[in-house]
Structure 1
Amino acid sequence: MKKKVLIYIILILVIIAVTLVATYYFIFGKNNVVWKNEALPAAPVFESVLDGTNVSSTELINPQVIGVMVDNHPDARPQSGLAQAKIVYEAPAEGGITRFLAIFDANQNIEKIGPVRSARPYFVDLLEEYSGMYMHCGGSPDGLQKIIDDKVFDLNEMYRGSYFWRDENKIAPHNLYTNSELWNKALEKNSSKLVSFSSGWQFGVLSTSTADPVQNIQILYSPDYAVSWTYDQNLKLYTRYLNDVPHTIDGTTLVADDVIVQYVKTRILDDYGRREMTTSGEGDLRLLRDGKMFKGVWKKINNRTRFYDATGSELNLKSGHIWIQLVPNDLQIKIST
């Protein structure tokens, strides 16, 4: 008799337990239960229109842009900030030297950028594609006039010196620097003068059926400015050399995910060797990515330079650091496979 009572009690307890589990399941729903064979939803992925890299929120997709003129005189090296730049343009200035326009996302935290140097009209033209703030120290007459005529939001150290400083350990004039803390102070006071950037390039995979395997290119801007890019199979990046020596900053060689050679019409304007470089219209280009070289054309459409293959389709860039070499049309580059 006692055994039967015990069995009844156990059955009743089992029924109660099953009822409670079923009740919880139907009241709170299946969505609150994580089953072993169910995958969790993937976190959303956002990409910056500036360089195609992942960002943490939608607010960072369309950044405000800062452009800084950076010196490449021998006394200016090693420079600061070039390794952190999202995009770098290099073009010849006077006397056979080259100069950089370093493009940054205004949200970046950069401790030191420079040495900062003077404006040229073709660099102003490139900066205007980003509707960005232009940081420089003086400029050629044409460059300064273009800033005025085009109403470019700029910080010229000659008039707004509080946004720059001099490094006493280097020789003037190759010792002027700025950083993100200073440009943010300028943005706080002039927030209405800068708009978010939205006209990004295309990023993604690219068919290699029309590409040539190229491991190295050399651009001889002048006898003292031989710029080379060599593809590193291990890093899957291009490493930069200047006069056959790695171009290093703080012991680290500069690298790029994409190297673009943009051929432009060029002519000398005066006895100082100032140049006119035509960055409007269209011209030939070479795109290096993933150890391959793609031939195509660049076209400036609606104030934005874009890159196309031989069929007229826009070329996809690889997300990451982008270097653009502006090269005179009559300058030959050396290519090694």
Structure 2
Amino acid sequence: MEKKQRRVVALCAAATTALALAVAGCNDDGGPPQDGTSPFTGLKARDAPVLAVKIDNVGAARPQSGLAMADIVYVERVEAGLSRLMAVYSSQLPSTIGPVRSARETDLELLRQFGRPAFAYSGAQSKLLPLLKAAAAHTVPPERLPDGYTRSQDRPAPHNLYLRPERALAAASEADDAKDIGFRFGAPPKGGRATPSYTVRYPAAAISFAWSGERERWRVSMDGAAVPVADAKGRGPATVVVQGVTIKPSRFHDRSGSATPYTDTTGSGPALVLREGKTHKARWSRPSATRGTEFSTPDGDRLAFARGPVWVAYVPKEAVTSGAAGTSR
């Protein structure tokens, strides 16, 4: 009898958990993240630590590994008008991620909203090293975790360094779990402009997003070449944010003397939110580096994202207000 009672209790507990997850997954009111769902994607997920990885994004680095399983991908402008990626993982973890490249000052402010995440990168300017050491993150560069990285023989350096994420998280065992960073998920706002595709343009790079109604996801291409961003379940980015920010020269320079751009991700400004084949005008607000970013409609209501991975492309504020942030078709 005792064994049967235990079995009944276990079945009831499992049913209760399943019901809770189903309710969380079906919650479509754009409210705060529910138990059993990822605050980064709005999909069912277990509590897990956050790992951020700086990823190369020039032609020699493509196709990258691990982007398809990222919860969030941030696109940042770097020297020479190129772009680089910051991929954030929690609900899923690929076997390898890369190619891994160097950190920037922008990353330190961006990461603070995650608490103390694990942060993987390869190298940084010498003047930036003290800031990285003092950063609110568990840093795991190759010099601190040599067995956590591997070099591919198929590509030339520096575009061939890859991270073994499970080793990075093992070394950063105190990394914080995913938490609310301001994203909301639910029904789309009314209106919106039909947008079959949208291209974000940097001085020397272009990232395009094409809507796939069949997959209900955005397909991604870099400089005209398709990039694999869908996981084994076919889940690619469901929401793309084109966020207008202040981008200015930082106090750091690259080897050629060019100033490294600094992207200020705090404050407020205009944004475009792409979901379900439409573009919606929005405003973003992040009062401080330790706070998340909230998005609202022009009327002031919270703007919900579609459930799934989110890509955020940082562009100058004036480019969003003038319509020059990208081109849509």
TM category, shorter: 0.7 to 0.9
Length, aligned pairs only = 287
Tell me if the contact between 1:238 and 1:256 (Cα under 8 Å) persists in the aligned partners.
Answer: yes
Q: 2:272 aligns with which of 262, 283, 286?
A: 286
Alignment partner for residue 243 of structure 1, among 223, 227, 239? 223
Map of 1:26 onto structure 2: none
**TM-score normalised to structure 1 length:** 0.78
Cα separation, 2, equivalents of 1:180 and 1:251: 16
Match runs of 1:106-255 below 5 Å: 108-131=92-115, 132-141=117-126, 143-187=128-172, 191=173, 193-200=174-181, 201-209=183-191, 211-223=192-204, 225-248=205-228, 255=236
Partner of 2:29: none
Query: What's the offset of the Cα at 1:120?
Result: 0.6
Q: Secondary structure at the match of 1:234?
A: coil
In the alignment, structure 1 segments of 5+ residues that lack a partner are 1-30, 32-39
5+ long unaligned stretches in structure 2: 1-7, 9-14, 22-35
Partners of 2:68 and 2:230 within 8 A in 1: no
2:325 corresponds to which of 316, 330, 333:
333
Distance 2:120 2:98 in 1: 10
Give the alignment's TM-score, normalised by structure 2: 0.79
Pick 1 or 2: higher relative contact order, CA cutoff 8 A, min separation 6.
Answer: 2
Higher alpha-carbon Rg: 1
Of 277, 295, 301, which aligns to 1:313? 301
Q: CA deviation at 1:333?
A: 2.7
8 A Cα contact 1:65 1:130, kept in partner = yes
Of residues 80, 86, 90, the one that matches 1:101 is 86
Distance verdict in 2 for CA 1:313–1:219, change over 3 Å: same
CA–CA separation in structure 1 for the residues paired with 2:210 and 2:286? 28
- Is 1:273 aligned with 2:253? no
For the structure 1 residues 282 and 143, does the alpha-carbon distance in structure 2 shift closer, same or farther, using more than 3 Å as the test?
Answer: farther
- RMSD across aligned C-alpha pairs, in angstroms? 2.6
Amino acid at match of 2:328: S
Shift of 1:325: 0.4
SS for the counterpart of 1:44 is helix
Q: Secondary structure at the match of 1:315?
A: coil
What amino acid does structure 2 have at the position aligned with 1:52?
G
Contact 1:121–1:144 (CA under 8 A) maintained in structure 2 = no
